[in-house]
Each structure stands twice: as structure tokens, then as C-alpha cells.
Structure 1
């Protein structure tokens, strides 16, 4: 059985509601395996409540984004850092 996912570009619209810049071009480092790469390369699962971005190297959860009425929750605990180009 293969999980179905899309790439990290699926996060562009939802994250643009939270950040003033396009975060898919930002660089993150996976807290699990140390892989560094653009957010756009994450494997994004959309069939859960919210969006789940997983590392393409180790499949660890790098970020979670859940939207509710009037607010959004962004969990980045699976990322060592998020470097946003200005």
C-alpha cells in the first residue's frame, strides 16, 4: 500500500495566509535526520485534518498546519530551523 501525497508546493496558499512571504522557498532542516532542503520538497499529506509535511529523506513529520475559523495552528517541532529568504 502506497500513501498518496503531493509536494510541498501545496503549502503555498495556506502558509501565505500566515506569513507575508512564500514559505515554500524557505529552507528547513529535519529534526529527525538532519536533511536540509526547501519546504517545497516536503511530502505533504492532505487527507488528514489539516496538512502534514513529511521529510522526503526519513518520512519524519516536519510541520503540521491546521486551520480553523479565524485562526491557524502551525507546528514546526519536527524542524530544526526555517530559513526564510527576504
Structure 2
């Protein structure tokens, strides 16, 4: 996170563009499973700590880090934390 630009806390919809850069599609409707507590929720409903360089995506139920999206001059990348599984909601 960037100390010069404090993070804001938002929901998962706020990182739709960052995830589009990675996957080429809107993946916020996909359902993630937290490896910490087992909660299931659409990525749009996660809690995100967001600044201009990174998004830390947390489980809304237990607050553990599911994954982190990083933006740099090399592009956008994702580091997986406790995101156990992702599946379609249908």
C-alpha cells in the first residue's frame, strides 16, 4: 500500500477494471470460497482495501486476505492468498 495515498475501503465492484485487465472479462459475479472460514460470496461482495498500486481483497466474513491485485509499470498481477476456489454462480 502507498503511505502517500491512504487506502480506501470499498466493495469488490471497485476492482472490476483491475480484474478485467487480468482476465479480459467481468469476474465480479463469480463466487469465491474462503480457505479460512469456508464462506461463499460473489467477488463483488468482498471487502477491498484499495490504493493506486494495490487492492487487498478480503473475505467479508472472517477478513482474511483472499488475494491481492498489484498494478505496476509491468502490468497487473494477482497474488493468491486464502482464495480456495472460484466458480460461476449458476
Relative to the length of structure 2, the TM-score reads: 0.81
- 1:31 matched to 2:21? The reply is no
CA distance in structure 2 between the partners assigned to 1:74 and 1:16 by the alignment:
12
| 1:5-84 equivalences in 2 (<5 Å) | 5-47=9-51, 49-84=53-88
Secondary structure of the equivalent of 1:29? strand
Indicate the RMSD between aligned Cα atoms, in angstroms: 1.9
Shift of 1:17: 0.8
Structure 1: state its 5+ residue gaps.
Answer: none
Q: TM-score, normalised by structure 1?
A: 0.85
Aligned residue pairs, count: 83
Unaligned runs of 5+ in 2: 1-6
The 8 Å contact of residues 29 and 35 in structure 1, kept in 2 or not, is answered as: yes
- Do the aligned residues in 1 keep the contact of 2:18 with 2:76 (CA within 8 Å)? no
